[in-house]
Amino acid sequence: MPLPTSLTQHIAHRPQRIALLQHVAEQGSITRAAKAAGISYKAAWDAIDELNNLASRPLVERSTGGRGGGGARLSAEGERVLRLYQRLQALQTQILEAAEESSDLGLLGRLMLRTSARNQLQGQVSGLRREGRHDRVSLALGGGLEIDALITHDSTERLELTLGAVVVALLKAGWVKLLAQAQEAEPGSNCLNATVEEVLAEGDGPSEVRLALGNGQTLCAIAEADWLAEQQVQAGSAVRVQFHPSYVLIGIAA
């Protein structure tokens, strides 16, 4: 089974994140893998969340035990991707040696842009509906989950979106809102059930909340610490999240 285009590009242009899989395989835990890679625990999980979201199936499986106390291992898909990465490493040297000028590499770097969006979810276009100047694009995320994006018709044409196209939905963490148990979702918004994996607090400011969706993908949201305490939100809590379709950006391989 071929790798999704979005993950293949990620392997080619963000090799340091794929290399983290090697540390997970060797260390058997995210904490030790992060230390071996010289990055923070949070950065390690951010990278793994992104890889799991872009892959057809999760690459890293996490066992119970809480932060720092549980283990982690590569899934069969993760082992396959790691083998691919190791082959790419060998090819990379040949490609760099073949570049005629250093400017060739600079050009490639400009063509392959990174994004500041915290959430990146791979999906497949399952619906396209015209709504005035905009198009409502339905994305199947897998596992029965679906979200909508609202983009201009010009964007739909420029991206050449068609039913069945594989895309990446981009969503900033600040655009993902946690809902109280009795709170109704805003009409027309995307609303998903999720389980809190971890709450990362930094001082008295807003906290980052890592959420697990039912299909194995993850989301990150930003919430005020006082609100989280009032709602008794902690690891293991079942919550709902909402975000408006206009907040969902769509990326597709060129």
Same domain assignment for residues 139 and 75: no
Instruction: Give the chain's domain count.
Output: 2
Same domain assignment for residues 125 and 200: yes
Same domain assignment for residues 83 and 126: no
Q: Give the residue from 84, 111, 138 where a domain finishes.
A: 111
**What pLDDT score was predicted for residue 221?**
95
In CATH, what number is assigned to the domain containing residue 44?
Answer: 1.10.10.10
**What pLDDT score was predicted for residue 56?**
76
List residues bridging with 211 in a β-sheet.
Answer: 196, 219
Same domain assignment for residues 224 and 100: no
Q: Give the residue from 72, 96, 111 where a domain finishes.
A: 111
List residues bridging with 222 in a β-sheet.
Answer: 208
Same domain assignment for residues 166 and 79: no
Q: Which amino acid does the sequence have at 218?
A: T
Q: SS3 for 89?
A: helix
Look up the domain containing 166 and give its range: 117-254
pLDDT means per 10 residues, the chain with 254 residues, are 53 64 89 88 87 84 60 88 74 58 51 67 93 94 94 90 92 92 89 93 84 92 92 93 94 72
Same domain assignment for residues 121 and 209: yes
Q: SS3 for 159?
A: helix
**What pLDDT score was predicted for residue 4?**
54
Alpha carbons within 13 angstroms on the beta-carbon side of residue 69 total 4
Report yes or no: 192 and 240 within 8 Å, Cβ to Cβ.
Answer: yes
User: Which is nearest to 117 in space by CA: 169, 42, 180?
Assistant: 169
Same domain assignment for residues 105 and 124: no
Same domain assignment for residues 136 and 241: yes
Same domain assignment for residues 121 and 223: yes
Same domain assignment for residues 212 and 150: yes
Q: Give the residue from 59, 89, 111 where a domain finishes.
A: 111
Report yes or no: 48 and 81 within 8 Å, Cβ to Cβ.
Answer: no
**What pLDDT score was predicted for residue 68?**
47
Token readout for 187 is: 């009409």
Same domain assignment for residues 101 and 219: no
**What pLDDT score was predicted for residue 94?**
62
In CATH, what number is assigned to the domain containing residue 170?
Answer: 2.40.50.100
List residues bridging with 150 in a β-sheet.
Answer: 136
Q: Strand (E) positions, the chain? A: 60-62, 72-74, 119-131, 134-142, 145-152, 166-171, 177-179, 190-200, 207-213, 218-223, 238-243, 249-251
Same domain assignment for residues 68 and 177: no
